[in-house]
Amino acid sequence: MFYREAGDFKTSYVDDGQTFPIKFDRYRYYFVLFVAFAMVPLLINDYWVNAIFLPFLIYSIAAIGLNILVGYCGQVSLGTGGFMAVGAYACYKFMTGLDIWIGGVQYALPPINIFFSVILAGLVTAVVGVLFGLPSLRIKGFYLAVATLAAQFFLVWLFNKWAWAYNYSASGQINAPEREIFGVAITGPNTEAWASYLFCLVIAAITAVIARNLTRGASGRKWMAIRDMDIAAEIIGVNPLKAKLSAFAVSSFYIGIAGALFFAVYLGAVEVGEAFGIQKSFIVLFMVIIGGLGSIFGSFAGAAFLVLLPVLLKLMLADSTDTITGFSTVMSWIFLLAFAAAVVMLVINVIRTRSLIAGSGVGWIFASIAAFMAYALTIGGMGWPTDIVAHLQLVIVGALIIIFLVAEPHGIAQLWRVAKEKLRLWPFPH
Amino acid sequence: MPEQLVYAMEVFLNGLMAGVLYALVALGFVLIYKASGIFNYAQGVMALFAALTLVGVMEGQVPFSHLINAIFGTDIHHFGWHLPAIVGIVVTILVMIGLAWMVQKFVFKHLVGQEPIILFMATIGLAYFLEGVGDIMWGSDIKKLDVGLPQGINTWIDESTFKVFDYGFFIDNLDIFATLIAAILVIGLVIFSQYSKQGRAMRAVADDHQAALSVGINLNFIWVMVWSLAGFVALVAGIMWGTKSGVQFSLSLIALKALPVLMLGGFTSIPGAIVGGLIIGVGEKLFEFAIGPMVGGATENWFAYVLALIFLVFRPQGLFGEKIIERV
């Protein structure tokens, strides 16, 4: 009804091959871009940007990168944190002026513009990624997953010990100095919220478009062939060396950019073990699993989910000081609506099946969770100690990973696809 | 004898002992992997969970007391009893069997026939879940675990080496004890899997699920049994590490120590786990002793991984693993 392809005629090959072949999809995409670029920057303040938008955008880039490697090429990597650290430290070196010592003489580049620093950091990470991707030609599956842990531990240790990497600062930390683009500060303490948001948004949008087209094209098909069965792929003429290493290179490039942004724009100061530890690797992997393996939209969805979850849990369960202005109120309305929708669905279900249980078990669970969330958000938090909330978050994330792997291995992206299929026909049954 | 060599010998011995502890954790991995093809990342968290439960039961803590207090505004913490270690161990074993049953029933029953990498990611989820449950159940503060194991410097070794080298070796009693336990455990497991009916069934399942099913072996029972065994091994590892450094979150990180051990020794081999553990234990201690000071120390974090990585490039199946043959 709302969403269909009937009457949407294609008259050229270019039309037929576009990213969003359905008109409704295309307009929705333009609308989302318009809201993100033109409306959000006018509405947000520091809290929204730092608690939600920046981590969401940056993790999205990292998740896209990891999704290319895990979801499209089938090579599981647990070294994401280490590669993000490479991006962060490379970006730091470029933006403060790369110095090289040759025979006791120091040669230094001038500081490079922050945008190009980020891109260069991505390239450096791509080289490192290829280096650690080399074993993937010999070993597979979780052998490889464990091997990438070597990258994680070694790189974090390296940036802890290698004084050149942090410019011999006494604390061992790296701090992002103030850098500008077109006279607007992007990094440093004087950054406006909208500026850092727009900077990350531009990079996220560009990288997402590139990733989408890479995975649609020849290289993406090669990756997927390798993922589905690498020996068979080799027989039909895919070069596993090129395919695997290019996946590692592209993936690390993205992750490196994410690491650079995470350090320079989001945190501003980084201690490597804390910011880029093994937990980071797992979080990004979880985003990919929950969002959907092998889907660019899924990377965004997974990142949004895992960024919002802790914020929401904190607002609901821990002592609420309502730091994110208005967020709690907005969310409590959303959950009230969800609760109402669930109740309506339940009532319809009960009337149709003449039973309180048949076919509505999930609905009951959903309705009670939504009701509890709406209640907790409305009264402004349950006031539980924060450590319990943190542990509860571990339980929820772990359970969700298992539930998604069991029930919906293609994650939120697949749920979205199913919903779209339903909308195409609605209100007709067939 | 030159001083450096004597020091190196002490480091070597300590490395052997540490290697035994790594091997102990690696054993749990091998057991589950052999029987069900699941690479259980949660093994380390299971050790933490077992140790937490043991301490909690022995100290008479009320499970979930923090959560209950937060919800109902009560103030309960302890039942007010102190149980002997043996009772605590028995209760913990029962809990671990229950856990094994639940893991099988709610998670892996639904994932039979999935790709190994999906199963691996599911165990990462399980690790997060268990860690959260363990912390909510028993609290996340560092706990002292004392089940009456001997601890402290072994004076006999100290004195006898002093007579020979004029320098007393520092060897912890606990490490010696752990070595003994590990040896007994390995011998027990080998006897179990070679000679008992259930052990044979376990090996049959490992060899071929469907063939085992067709001769009347109850797959579900075998899997629950294997997870229980792994839980038991986790408990032993948890007791050793918990006594050594207190029961705390870092205990779950021993899984990360055991992974390179497995890669080196091969995922399918019990002797491989032992030998791999010893090589890693000795290797990382000697490397830290010889090269560590030159590069700023703390090389133990990554040495094992890099060693395993380099090794794998030349022998992908590990030292004792079965050769991987792939067909289209």
User: Do residue B327 and residue A147 have CB atoms under 8 angstroms apart?
Assistant: no
Residue found by looking up tokens 């039309």 in the block:
A15
Least confident of A197-211, A216-230, A343-357: A343-357
Joined tokens for residue B118: 């999906």
Nearest to B302 among A153, A289, A405 (CB): A153
What pLDDT digit, counting tens, does each position of A140-167 carry?
A: 777 788 778 888 888 888 888 887 777 7
Residue A264: give its domain's CATH number. 1.10.3470
Mean pLDDT value of segment A221-240: 89
Nearest to B125 among A235, A384, A401 (CB): A401
Mean pLDDT value of segment B131-141: 84
Q: What's residue B321's pLDDT?
A: 67
In a domain, A376, yes or no: no
What pLDDT digit, counting tens, does each position of B9-28 carry?
A: 778 887 888 788 788 778 87
**What is the average pLDDT value for chain B, to the nearest integer?**
80
In a domain, A246, yes or no: yes
Contact indicator for A149, A81 with CB cutoff of 8 Å:
no
CA distance B172 to chain A (A): 28
In a domain, A94, yes or no: yes
- Chain A neighbors of B262, CB-CB under 8 A: 146
- Chain A neighbors of B260, CB-CB under 8 A: 146, 150
Interface predicted TM-score of the whole assembly (ipTM), two decimals: 0.82
Is B110 in CB contact (< 8 Å) with chain A? yes
Joined tokens for residue B300: 């133990």
3-state secondary structure of B183: helix
The most confident of A11-20, A22-31, A67-76, by mean pLDDT: A67-76
Instruction: Name A266's Cβ contacts closer than 8 Å, sequence gap at least 6.
Output: A50, A54, A55, A58, A196, A200
pLDDT above 80: residue A226: yes
Nearest to B301 among A141, A157, A405 (CB): A157
The most confident of A323-332, A350-359, A367-376, B212-221, by mean pLDDT: B212-221
Q: What's residue A208's pLDDT?
A: 92
- Chain A neighbors of B309, CB-CB under 8 A: 135, 147, 150
Cis geometry, peptide bond prior to residue A41 (ω within 30 degrees of 0): no
Nearest to A135 among B135, B259, B309 (CB): B309
Least confident of A93-102, A353-362, B13-22, B39-48: A353-362
pLDDT above 80: residue B240: yes
In a domain, A425, yes or no: no
The most confident of A214-218, A386-390, A423-427, B23-27, by mean pLDDT: A214-218
Domains contained in chain A, number: 1
The chain B residue lying nearest A161, using CA atoms, is: B296
CA distance A210 to A71: 16
Q: What's residue A303's pLDDT?
A: 92
In a domain, A29, yes or no: no
Q: What's residue B220's pLDDT?
A: 85
Mean pLDDT value of segment B135-148: 78
CA distance B308 to B99: 32
CA distance B153 to chain A (A): 31
In a domain, A291, yes or no: yes
- Chain B neighbors of A157, CB-CB under 8 A: 298-299, 301-302
Is A419 in CB contact (< 8 Å) with chain B? no
Is B87 in CB contact (< 8 Å) with chain A? no
CA distance B32 to B116: 13
Joined tokens for residue A373: 């969330």
- Chain B neighbors of A393, CB-CB under 8 A: 132
What is the residue range of A92's domain?
44-308
pLDDT above 80: residue A200: yes
Mean pLDDT value of segment B257-274: 79
Tell me, letter by letter, the H, E, C secondary structure of A24-86: HHHHHHHHHHHHHHHHHHHHCCHHHHHHHHHHHHHHHHHHHHHHHHHHHCCCCCCCHHHHHHH
Contact indicator for A118, A264 with CB cutoff of 8 Å:
yes
What pLDDT digit, counting tens, does each position of A23-71 carry?
A: 777 888 888 888 888 888 888 877 788 888 899 999 999 999 999 998 8
pLDDT above 60: residue A358: no
Instruction: Name A70's Cβ contacts closer than 8 Å, sequence gap at least 6.
Output: A76, A77, A285, A288, A293
Is A399 in CB contact (< 8 Å) with chain B? yes
Q: What's residue A359's pLDDT?
A: 58
In a domain, A243, yes or no: yes
Instruction: Name A31's Cβ contacts closer than 8 Å, sequence gap at least 6.
Output: none
Q: What's residue A210's pLDDT?
A: 93
Q: What distance, in Å, lies between the first and last C-alpha atoms of chain B?
A: 59
- Amino acid, res. B76: I
CA distance B107 to B110: 6
CA distance A387 to A369: 21
- Chain B neighbors of A409, CB-CB under 8 A: 118
Least confident of A353-357, B159-163, B205-209: A353-357
CA distance A196 to A115: 12
Is A394 in CB contact (< 8 Å) with chain B? yes
CA distance B167 to chain A (A): 33
Q: What's residue B22's pLDDT?
A: 81
- Chain A neighbors of B133, CB-CB under 8 A: 395
CB pairs under 8 A between A and B: 140
In a domain, A20, yes or no: no
> Which residues on neighbouring strands pair with residue A99, listed in sequence order?
A108
pLDDT above 90: residue B35: no
pLDDT above 70: residue A327: no
Residue of A374, A272, A278 lying closest to A332 (CA atoms): A374
Residue of A154, B33, B289, B252 lying closest to B281 (CA atoms): B289
Nearest to A394 among B118, B120, B132 (CB): B132
Q: Return the higher-pLDDT residue of B291 and A200.
A: A200
Any idea where the domains of chain B sit in the sequence?
3-253
Q: What's residue A360's pLDDT?
A: 59
pLDDT above 80: residue B313: no
Is B49 in CB contact (< 8 Å) with chain A? no
Give the dihedral of Cα atoms A127, A128, A130, A134; nearest 10 deg.
140
Q: What's residue A185's pLDDT?
A: 79
User: Do residue B66 and residue A141 have CB atoms under 8 angstroms apart?
Assistant: no
**What is the average pLDDT value for chain A, to the nearest integer?**
83
CA distance B230 to B126: 15
